[in-house]
Amino acid sequence: MKEKAGYYIVKQDVLPEVFIKVVEAKRLLESEKVQTVQEAVELVGISRSSFYKYKDSVFPFFENSRGRTITISIQLEDQAGLLSHVLNVIASVGANILTIHQTIPVNKIANVTITMETNPMKDDIKELMDQLESIEGVLNVKIIARE
């Protein structure tokens, strides 16, 4: 049984400084102000190992997450109907899917990237992430971009 990820909202001033710097490095990379991770970490003053250790776990909180476009990355077991189930969950919360990209399964695991508009959503993004993570056959769900 896989462990369910928990999410917390924590004020920035109580976070370890490395978390803030990881978020800043990610922002630099996303905005293309720097081209490499090395450039980003040098600018913010952390090591590459710190960046890679926390990059998939630390995200800025957007108070107004509705009305945004988000891109999520999902790893799925290669099972008939699983992607359809994922899409039905997304539709059930009212998100508007803009793009879907699925790789050919390797070692019976497919990577799927979905970009969606969140403004029509009934629930918040955390609820959607929790619902997706609870689906049998979903191995990993991450938000990889927000606009």
Structural domains of the chain in order of their starting residue, each with its CATH number: 12-54 (no CATH), 69-146 (3.30.70.260)
pLDDT value of residue 94: 87
- Rounded Cα–Cα distance for residues 91 and 117 (Å): 11
Instruction: Give the pLDDT of the chain (147 residues) as one tens digit per residue.
Output: 556 667 777 888 899 999 999 999 998 888 788 999 999 999 999 999 999 999 888 877 654 444 578 899 999 999 999 999 999 999 998 888 999 999 999 999 999 999 998 876 776 788 888 899 999 999 999 988 877
What's the CA gap between 126 and 95, in Å, rounded? Answer: 13
45: left (phi over 0), alpha (psi -120 to 50) or beta: left
The single-letter DSSP state of residue 106 is B
> Of 45, 47, 59, 52, whose CA–CA distance to 15 is shortest?
59
What backbone torsions phi and psi does residue 138 show, to the nearest 5 degrees?
-85, 120
Q: What is the pTM of this model?
A: 0.56
Predicted local confidence at residue 66, as pLDDT: 45
The encoded tokens of residue 3 equal: 């462990």
